[in-house]
Amino acid sequence: MSKDIYVVAEQRDAVIQKVSFELISEAKRLSMVTGEKVYAILAGAKGVAEDLGDFYRAGADGVIYVEDELLKEYTTEPYTKVVSEILLAKDPNIVLFGATSIGRDLAPRVAARIHTGLTADCTKLEILDWSPNQETEPEKLLYMTRPAFGGNIMATILCKEKRPQMATVRPGVMKREDIIAECGATPEGTKEEFKSTLKKEDMNVVIREVVKCKVQKTDIIEAKALISGGRGIGSPEAFSMLKELAELLEADISSSRANVDAGWIDRDRQVGQTGKTVRPSLYMACGISGAIQHVAGMEDSDYVIAINKNETAAIFDVADLGIVGDLKIIIPKLIEGLKRYKELNRC
């Protein structure tokens, strides 16, 4: 019988990615309902499994690892083979992947190998009772919710027959810290090495060289403060005003989907159901109406300031401070005030 919840951890250059710990904590929360244990799968080169304390602190009951030089850099076929072998051997009830470039490549291939379904880009996971009729004893299933039709609706998907139930989850959607406190996780757990049947012939791609791009941009998921522009800013040139304010506040720039679709700003700056989920200390929404698709991506921010000409805009429902007025007047005055404040503090 399928049991336990598995998280496929992601590492790059032997550094475990944050989404892995977010998913372990979410798996721990789900396990409190199912009564199952949580295990992480970790694959990489020799030495990748030396320090596993963060896995246990995030809520893992154990780590199953594979060390092989063929797994030093991510390549599709070797990783698919290794993860599929582990899942077939362990027969888990639920498997979670990060919805990253690696997770989106790996998860569907693993699902095909082990003959199960996959729900991609989930933003919410729940364990609830399900029964086809009143006469049948209900069973606990994973309810996997994701945006559909461009984020206009939220679809909840069940995998009623096949096991494991599999999902990819967007980075930043799940919280790690709250789950640790709730579960009282301790940095202890089991450690098991899995011997795979990986051979050199499985490397159907030869990596000649790894070239890393130097990216100057920060990831808005990591930002402590965000100045976000919506359709109401009126033009792409208005982002220069927001950037000036962001520099004074040591913040980053983000946007609603409308400006991304218009080509005014890069897609990696988009906040919302079809963008990224953020939790900064400060989120300033400038000219953003507050559609549910956008709010879903920023409502957990510590402090929200909204500027909008429409006093009935939905964004004010989630704002801690709302300013009704023309942002093209308000923001320059705010910039001027911040500059004056900084000048006085230098004296």
Report how far residue 65's alpha carbon sits from residue 95's, in angstroms, rounded to the nearest whole number.
15
Residue located via tokens 């500027």: 307
User: Which residues, 6 or more positions from 274, have their beta carbon under 8 angstroms from its beta carbon?
Assistant: 147, 150, 151, 257, 293
What is the rounded CA–CA span in Å between residue 305 and residue 226?
10
pLDDT tens track of the chain, all 347 residues? 788 999 999 998 888 898 999 999 999 999 999 999 999 999 988 888 888 888 888 889 999 999 888 888 898 999 999 999 999 999 999 999 999 889 999 999 999 999 999 999 898 899 998 888 777 888 899 999 988 776 667 889 999 989 999 999 988 888 775 455 555 555 678 899 998 888 888 788 888 877 776 655 678 888 899 999 999 998 989 999 999 999 999 899 999 999 999 999 988 899 988 888 898 999 999 999 998 889 988 988 999 999 999 999 999 999 999 999 999 999 999 999 999 888 887 75
Strands (E), 203-259: 225-229, 252-255
The three-state secondary structure class of 13 is: coil
The DSSP-derived string for 300-314 is T-SEEEEEES-TT-G
What is the reported pLDDT for 150? 66
First to last CA, the chain: 71
Determine the Cα angle at 82 with ends 170 and 146, to 5°: 20
pLDDT at res. 274: 80
Residue 72: C-alpha distances to residues 14, 75, 92, 203 (Å): 8, 9, 26, 12
DSSP 88-153: HHH--SEEEEE-SHHHHHHHHHHHHHTT---EEEESEEEEEEE-SSTTSPPEEEEEEEEEETTTTE
- Supply the pLDDT for residue 28: 93
In the block, tokens 């006085």 appear at 344
pLDDT for res 68: 87
Q: What are phi and psi of 98, to 5 degrees?
A: -75, 140
- DSSP class of residue 235 equals S
Please provide the DSSP assignment of 23-83 as one string: HHHHHHHHHHHHT--EEEEEEESTTTTS--HHHHHHT-SEEEEEE-GGGSS--HHHHHHHH
* CA pair distance 114, 254, nearest whole angstrom: 39
Residue type present at position 270: Q
Domains (range + CATH), the chain: 5-202 (3.40.50.620), 220-346 (3.40.50.1220)
Q: Can you tell me the distance from the alpha carbon of 252 to that of 181, in angstroms, rounded to the nearest whole number? A: 29
DSSP-derived secondary structure letter, 197: -
Whether the bond into 164 is cis, omega within 30 of 0: yes
